[in-house]
């Protein structure tokens, strides 16, 4: 989902891009990663690969750790070997959601589940393997090419009169088309190292996001309030995932509502 957007934007900006989908490269295979990067010899690598099944990770820690932890380290190390910088995508799930003001880059991390733990392990591995690293934490991604909340709501809303969506999880919905542009910009600026918080501007609950999606799409479906406790899941979710930045000149994305509008517009024209 995110990788496709990165490739499209990078090519549009005139970069020579080599894209590797999962079928092309298994990042858990350190040798294969090193071989491909030695062959391509890029100036920068953007790693969008991840094990993102949050609930599945609770019972499949090995797979999640292999991709999100060790695999991320393999990519960063292979990039360093050929003199390339690495832009690595991480997540708001490295935090426990206990704050009630935006999380900044230096806030203490405390993942609630295996997914967050393995993504945090990836951050550590990337930073250790390649000094020229930018680690980008983002949240609530939606876009073309992958399962996401916006598409789920569009499907449900077209067949139901009402849906129940939680009000007690708050975050920053982020359109991949906006985030991808920031990732490419960081790839162009290898001296911008360290951790970056980059997500859709503003914040909302999942319930508010559903309302916005239906309003923008012209779907007549009521959105009822409910709580996380009413929908128990194997993995705990952070209650408050709003990301802010303490950087002097952070990369700022448009408002999350603009991301929803832009994404829906691409679906209309597709």
Task: Catalogue the active-site residues.
Answer: 115
Please tell me the distance from the alpha carbon of residue 111 to that of residue 159, in angstroms, as a whole number.
Answer: 36
Within a 10 A sphere around the Cβ of 124, how many other Cβ atoms? Answer: 14
Contact 87, 45 (CB under 8 A): yes
Contact 69, 125 (CB under 8 A): yes
Please tell me the distance from the alpha carbon of residue 209 to that of residue 270, in angstroms, as a whole number.
Answer: 22
Please tell me the distance from the alpha carbon of residue 173 to that of residue 171, in angstroms, as a whole number.
Answer: 6
Please tell me the distance from the alpha carbon of residue 8 to that of residue 15, in angstroms, as a whole number.
Answer: 10
3-class DSSP state for residue 202? coil
Contact 202, 141 (CB under 8 A): no
The total number of residues shown for the chain amounts to 270
Please tell me the distance from the alpha carbon of residue 81 to that of residue 9, in angstroms, as a whole number.
Answer: 26
Contact 201, 253 (CB under 8 A): yes
* Host H or E run for residue 45: strand 44-47
Question: Residue 4 — left, alpha, or beta (φ > 0 → left; ψ -120 to 50 → alpha)?
Answer: alpha
Please tell me the distance from the alpha carbon of residue 62 to that of residue 236, in angstroms, as a whole number.
Answer: 19
């Amino acid at each position: 989902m995110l990788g496709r957007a990165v490739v499209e934007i990078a090519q549009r900006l005139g970069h020579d891009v080599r894209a590797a989908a999962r079928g092309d490269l298994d990042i858990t295979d350190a040798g294969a990663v090193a071989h491909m990067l030695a062959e391509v010899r890029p100036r920068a690598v953007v790693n969008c690969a991840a094990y993102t099944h949050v609930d599945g990770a609770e019972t499949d820690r090995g797979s999640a750790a292999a991709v999100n932890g060790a695999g991320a380290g393999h990519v960063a190390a292979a990039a360093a070997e050929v003199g390339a910088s690495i832009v690595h995508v991480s997540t708001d799930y490295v935090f426990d959601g206990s704050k009630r003001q935006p999380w900044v880059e230096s806030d203490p991390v405390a993942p609630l589940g295996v997914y967050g733990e393995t993504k945090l392990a990836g951050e550590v591995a990337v930073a250790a393997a390649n000094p020229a690293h930018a680690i980008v934490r983002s949240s609530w991604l939606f876009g073309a090419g992958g399962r996401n909340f916006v598409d789920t709501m569009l499907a449900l809303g077209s067949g139901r009169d009402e849906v129940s969506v939680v009000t007690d999880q708050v975050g920053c919905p982020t359109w991949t088309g906006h985030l991808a542009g920031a990732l490419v910009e960081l790839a162009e600026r290898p001296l911008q190292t360290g951790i970056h918080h980059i997500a859709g501007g503003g914040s909302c609950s999942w319930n508010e996001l559903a309302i916005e999606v239906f309003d923008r799409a012209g779907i007549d479906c009521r959105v009822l309030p409910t709580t996380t406790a009413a929908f128990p899941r194997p993995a705990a979710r952070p209650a408050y995932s709003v990301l802010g930045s303490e950087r002097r000149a952070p990369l700022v994305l448009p408002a999350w509502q603009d991301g929803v509008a832009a994404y829906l517009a691409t679906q209309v024209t597709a």
